[in-house]
Amino acid sequence: MNPLTTTVQHTETGPLLRIAGELDYGSAPELRRLVTSLALEPGQRLVLDLAHLSFCDSSGITAFIVARNHATAHQADITLLAVPGPVLRVLRVTGLDQVFSLAPGPDTRTDRAADG
């Protein structure tokens, strides 16, 4: 088991939230509380860095949607950075890849070829 860890870095464009470990039914409420507590200004961008996310179930996907709703309510944008392959597949199957802005990390790709 790889417990969920989060770190927040405040940048000029908005908060950068690094998420590592397992995001599941037990840990998703913690992430939901954290993202909804982040102060956002109109025009800012909330970035969720998922490069070190080792597992994500449907509760984790719901937490991403909560983060998007929080950003939208504050007229801010949201980007999922370095989305791991299995999570990217779920986002594509559910159509959420069209809802979220996705950005590759230094060692990841978000294009269709990444599916293999």
Confidence of residue 5 (pLDDT cuts 50, 70, 90): very high
Average pLDDT over residues 56-77: 98
Q: What pLDDT was estimated at residue 107?
A: 59
Between the alpha carbon of residue 33 and those of residues 29, 97, 112, the distances in Å are 6, 23, 32
Q: Which domains does the chain have, with CATH numbers?
A: 5-105 (3.30.750.24)
Q: What pLDDT was estimated at residue 1?
A: 74
Arithmetic mean of pLDDT over the chain: 91
State yes or no: pLDDT of 88 exceeds 80. Answer: yes
Q: What pLDDT was estimated at residue 70?
A: 98
- DSSP annotation string for 29-89: HHHHHHHHHS---TT-EEEEEEEEEEEE-HHHHHHHHHHHHHHHHTT-EEEEES--HHHHH
Confidence of residue 105 (pLDDT cuts 50, 70, 90): confident
